[in-house]
């Protein structure tokens, strides 16, 4: 149907598999992480504040991964052992994502069939809550987020100042975001302002941290990409205190190629609006 | 009766027979059966006496009987489409919940097993074990 017209993006999609791709673009990368490709040119050095061990112990990092076999191992290894609980939700990948994640030491949850990024994140969050998580961080599987930014998101929650933190790529280093992505994201920010009334500087950043209390309020029904707006709506409805934290996004050639296409935005907007009407 | 009327009426009669047989076999709900029988009967009546639809159309301010039938069928189709879409959404939701529960429970089982074997990797919190939280 319509979905087939969208590019699935990943070079490993061929024939039948390509048709089976349920949403516009894979939400991560399967392109090899070659030497130097993970590190963007001008990554700003930030004094890394370490998490106290008792906080790190209660922290679960949830990564939704779809066909990430070539990148996920490095992402997990970068997180462990500083953050002992890394949960990778393999969303029905056709490659060896789950083996790579398992080898790297992550807890792997497997969706038997692909359900979309929103569904995968909710699975990871539900699992973390059942395991007794005190803090939950959602993290991207393609290496575009930096583990060094995690304390900046979690510490305000651990100190009890806020209940959730949203990563923002525009608070600082906004000029490093490529122009075309900036245009799409700008539209998304305006959309979020209109629909949810929340004035965010970066509406669709996958890097977020929640307290247990905030995470328990999340109940994602939009399985595909529209969850980014849904999550914001639900958090706003809780009226819990929050803040935006500047994070640096490693835009690399492959993460750009694998990211959401601008044209996918219409599909996302449609899913979201329908979700508002029908629940 | 002209050839068109004969063909359509016999087709509708066949559909009515199938509907009744399904109902007798107990495979259809009463309301559904009545709905479809009404559709077939109205169709047959409108084919045999085209003046009926014309008169109704005139009363409603629509020019021709054919147009009335067309509008009605479009409305019906859109309603049906919405119904199917809703069903599909519900099915998607159910499938996601199933897939999620399976993923979580398998991971927990694996973690428990690992704990039993002495690897304390990601052991579930025993306190939470008791509470048995519902899946969301």
Question: pLDDT at position A20, please?
Answer: 35
Q: Which residue has the tokens 């009515």?
A: B16
Question: pLDDT at position A34, please?
Answer: 42
Q: Which residues of B touch A85 (CB under 8 A)?
A: 122
Q: Which of residues 110-139 of A touch B (CB under 8 A)?
A: 110-113, 115, 119, 122-123, 126-127, 129-132
Helix (H, G, I), strand (E, B) or coil at B97: helix
DSSP sequence for B48-88: H-HHHHHHHHHHHT-S-HHHHHHHHHHHHHHHHHHHHHHHH
Is A219 part of the contact surface with chain B (CB cutoff 8 Å)?
yes
Chain-chain contact of A119 with B124 (C-beta, under 8 angstroms): no
- Is it the case that residue A38 has pLDDT exceeding 90? no
Q: Which residue has the tokens 């997990």?
A: A76
Cα–Cα distance between B134 and B101 in angstroms, integer?
10
Question: pLDDT at position B120, please?
Answer: 55
Task: Work out the average pLDDT over B28-45.
Answer: 89
State the smallest CA–CA distance between residue B92 and chain A in angstroms: 9
Question: Residue A58, Cβ neighbours under 10 Å: how many?
Answer: 20
Q: Given pLDDT bands bounded at 50, 70 and 90, which one contains residue A158? A: very high
Q: Taking Cα atoms as reference points, which of A105, A35, A49 lies closest to residue A77?
A: A105
Closest Cβ–Cβ partner in A108, A113, A129 for B99: A113
Question: pLDDT at position A42, please?
Answer: 59
Q: Given pLDDT bands bounded at 50, 70 and 90, which one contains residue A171? A: confident
Cα–Cα distance between A231 and A237 in angstroms, integer?
10
Question: pLDDT at position A4, please?
Answer: 40
- Is it the case that residue B32 has pLDDT exceeding 90? no
Task: Work out the average pLDDT over A12-34.
Answer: 37
Alpha-carbon dihedral A170, A68, A106, A91, rounded to 10 degrees: 100
Question: pLDDT at position A40, please?
Answer: 47
pLDDT in tens, A222-246: 888 788 888 888 888 888 999 999 8
Question: pLDDT at position A265, please?
Answer: 74
Chain-chain contact of A119 with B100 (C-beta, under 8 angstroms): yes
Interface confidence, given as ipTM, is 0.74
Q: Taking Cα atoms as reference points, which of A73, A79, A110 lies closest to residue A92?
A: A110
pLDDT in tens, A97-111: 999 999 999 999 999
Question: Residue A134, Cβ neighbours under 10 Å: how many?
Answer: 19
DSSP sequence for A95-158: SSHHHHHHHHT-EEEEESS---HHHHHHHHHHHHHHTT-SEEEEE-TTS-S-GGGHHHHHHHHH
**Greatest mean pLDDT among A23-27, A49-53, A133-137, A187-191:** A133-137
Strands A107-111 and A164-168: unpaired
Mean pLDDT in chain B?
84
Question: Residue A152, Cβ neighbours under 10 Å: how many?
Answer: 18
3-state helix, strand, coil in chain B (%, to 5): 80, 0, 20
State the smallest CA–CA distance between residue A53 and chain B in angstroms: 16
Closest Cβ–Cβ partner in B86, B104, B121 for A130: B104
Question: pLDDT at position A45, please?
Answer: 62
Task: Work out the average pLDDT over B2-19.
Answer: 92
B1 token code pair: 């009766």
A35 token code pair: 């030497």
Q: Which residues of A touch B95 (CB under 8 A)?
A: 113, 115
Provide the residue count of chain B: 136
Strands A135-139 and A208-211: antiparallel
Is B89 part of the contact surface with chain A (CB cutoff 8 Å)?
yes
Which of A64-78, A208-222, A257-271 is predicted least confidently?
A: A257-271
Question: pLDDT at position B126, please?
Answer: 45
Max CA separation in chain B (angstroms): 86
pLDDT in tens, B89-136: 999 999 999 999 999 999 999 888 888 887 555 444 444 444 445 555
Mean pLDDT in chain A?
79
State the smallest CA–CA distance between residue A45 and chain B in angstroms: 32
Is B106 part of the contact surface with chain A (CB cutoff 8 Å)?
yes
Question: pLDDT at position A43, please?
Answer: 64
Question: pLDDT at position A2, please?
Answer: 40
State the smallest CA–CA distance between residue A14 and chain B in angstroms: 25
Helix (H, G, I), strand (E, B) or coil at A164: strand
If one compares A40 and A71, the residue with the highest pLDDT of the two is A71
**DSSP state letter for B44:** H
What secondary structure, in 3-state letters, does B111-127 show? HHHHHHCCCCCCCCCHH
Strands A164-168 and A208-211: antiparallel
Question: pLDDT at position A35, please?
Answer: 42
Task: Work out the average pLDDT over A6-11.
Answer: 38
Beta-sheet strands, E only, within chain A: 59-65, 85-91, 107-111, 135-139, 164-168, 208-211, 242-246
Q: Which residue has the tokens 């063909």?
A: B7
Cα–Cα distance between A277 and A271 in angstroms, integer?
10
Which of A118-127, A162-171, A259-268, B52-61 is predicted least confidently?
A: A259-268
Which of the residues A91, A111, A119 would you substitute to probe the B interface, choosing the one with the greatest number of B C-beta atoms within 10 Å? A119
State the smallest CA–CA distance between residue A31 and chain B in angstroms: 26
Question: pLDDT at position B40, please?
Answer: 92
End-to-end CA, chain B: 61
B91, HSE (Cβ side, Cα atoms, 13 Å): 6
Q: Given pLDDT bands bounded at 50, 70 and 90, which one contains residue B69? A: confident
What residues does A107 pair with on adjacent strands? A87
- Is it the case that residue A26 has pLDDT exceeding 70? no
Using a pLDDT cut of 70, give the percent of chain A over it.
Answer: 77
Axis-axis angle for helices A179-196, A227-238 (nearest 10): 40
Chain-chain contact of B89 with A127 (C-beta, under 8 angstroms): no
């Amino acid at each position: 149907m319509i979905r087939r017209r969208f590019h699935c993006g990943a070079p490993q999609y061929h024939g039948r598999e390509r048709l089976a791709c349920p949403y516009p673009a894979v939400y991560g990368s399967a392109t090899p992480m070659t030497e130097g490709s993970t590190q963007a040119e001008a990554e700003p050095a930030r004094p890394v504040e370490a998490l106290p061990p008792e906080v790190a112990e209660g922290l679960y990092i949830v990564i939704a991964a779809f066909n990430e076999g070539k990148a996920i191992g490095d992402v997990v290894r970068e997180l462990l052992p500083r953050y002992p609980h890394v949960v990778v939700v393999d969303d029905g990948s056709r490659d060896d994502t789950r083996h790579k994640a398992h080898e790297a030491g992550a807890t792997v949850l497997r969706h038997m069939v692909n359900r979309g990024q929103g569904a995968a994140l909710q699975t990871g969050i539900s699992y973390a809550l059942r395991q007794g998580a005190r803090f939950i961080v959602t993290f991207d599987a393609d290496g575009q987020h930096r583990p060094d930014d995690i304390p900046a998101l979690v510490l305000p929650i651990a100190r009890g100042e806020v209940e959730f933190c949203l990563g923002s790529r525009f608070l600082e280093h906004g000029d490093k975001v490529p122009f075309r992505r900036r245009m799409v994201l700008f539209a998304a920010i305006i959309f979020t302002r209109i629909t949810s009334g929340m004035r965010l500087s970066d509406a669709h950043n996958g890097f977020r941290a929640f307290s247990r209390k905030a995470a328990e309020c999340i109940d994602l029904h939009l399985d595909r990409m529209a969850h980014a707006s849904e999550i914001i709506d639900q958090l706003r409805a809780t009226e819990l205190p929050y803040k935006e934290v500047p994070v640096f996004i490693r835009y690399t050639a492959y993460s750009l190629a694998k990211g959401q296409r601008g044209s996918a935005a219409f599909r996302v907007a449609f899913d979201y609006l329908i979700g508002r009407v029908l629940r | 009766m002209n050839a068109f009327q004969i063909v359509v009426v016999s087709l509708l009669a066949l559909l009515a027979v199938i509907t009744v047989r399904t109902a007798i076999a107990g495979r259809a709900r009463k309301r559904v059966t009545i709905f479809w029988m009404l559709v077939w009967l109205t169709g047959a009546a409108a084919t045999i006496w085209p003046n009926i639809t014309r008169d109704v159309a005139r009363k409603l301010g629509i020019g021709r009987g054919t147009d009335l039938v067309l509008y009605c069928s479009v409305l019906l189709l859109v309603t049906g489409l919405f119904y199917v879409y809703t069903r599909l959404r519900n099915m998607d939701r159910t499938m996601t919940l199933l897939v999620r529960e399976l993923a979580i429970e398998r991971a927990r089982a694996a973690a428990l097993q690992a704990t039993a074997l002495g690897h304390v990797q990601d052991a579930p919190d025993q306190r939470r074990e008791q509470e048995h939280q519902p899946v969301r």
